[in-house]
Amino acid sequence: MAEVILGIGGNSGDRLTNLMLVGGLLFDRLGSITYYSPIIESEPWGFQSDNWFLNQILVVETEAKPAQLLRVCLDIEAFLGRHRTKTYSDRIMDIDILFYDDIVLSEEGLIIPHPRLHERLFILKPLNSIRPKHVHPVLGLTVQELLESCEDDSKTKWFKGSYSLPLLP
């Protein structure tokens, strides 16, 4: 069983419903969701839009190998109507593989850990709320240390009524 940390988020459609739907689809297709972070609202990163994102971190226990995990994530995005482009743009849902156990992997279309997670407050803030001592296997820093050194100045705020709890089995 592998422990996978995923970042999910979107800024189109019913953002909160989409997050909940993705959690259910991931549970059905991959395995148990053992922790989830509070939801954070953030301005778009890397492009201009009036639509802010809702983002959340999920910790999943799965038997899926990395390539299979990626296929499941891409299938869920497509099922929800995401059309991938080569540039950042508004999207219904984005599912990023942040960590897969402590492996380091670089293949065509799949890099683990996620190559830009340490640059993004909308990932680091909610990740820090549930895994502050998790060590990045390439950078050798904890999530808390990555957050403290992050130079991202984009606006973020905790989504009203959002909280983190482990899900009961």
Taken in order of first residue, the domains within the chain and their CATH numbers are 2-158 (3.30.70.560)
Tell me the average pLDDT of the chain.
92
Mean pLDDT of 48-67: 96
How many Cβ atoms from other residues are within 10 Å of residue 18's Cβ?
21
Q: What whole-number distance in Å separates Cα of residue 116 and Cα of residue 59?
A: 18
Side chain identity at residue 68, one-letter code:
Q
Q: What whole-number distance in Å separates Cα of residue 91 and Cα of residue 154?
A: 18
Q: What whole-number distance in Å separates Cα of residue 10 and Cα of residue 5?
A: 17
Three-state DSSP class for residue 17: helix
How many Cβ atoms from other residues are within 10 Å of residue 72's Cβ?
18
Render pLDDT for 39-51 as a digit per residue (tens, 0 to 9): 999 999 877 889 9
Render pLDDT for 71-127 as a digit per residue (tens, 0 to 9): 999 999 999 987 776 677 788 999 999 999 999 999 999 999 999 999 999 999 999
Global pTM reads 0.92
**Per-residue confidence at 147, pLDDT binned at 50, 70, 90?**
very high
- Which stretch of DSSP H or E encloses residue 42? strand 40-42
Q: What whole-number distance in Å separates Cα of residue 126 and Cα of residue 58?
A: 10
- Which stretch of DSSP H or E encloses residue 79? helix 66-79
Cα distances from 57 to residues 35, 50, 68, 87, in angstroms, run 8, 23, 20, 23
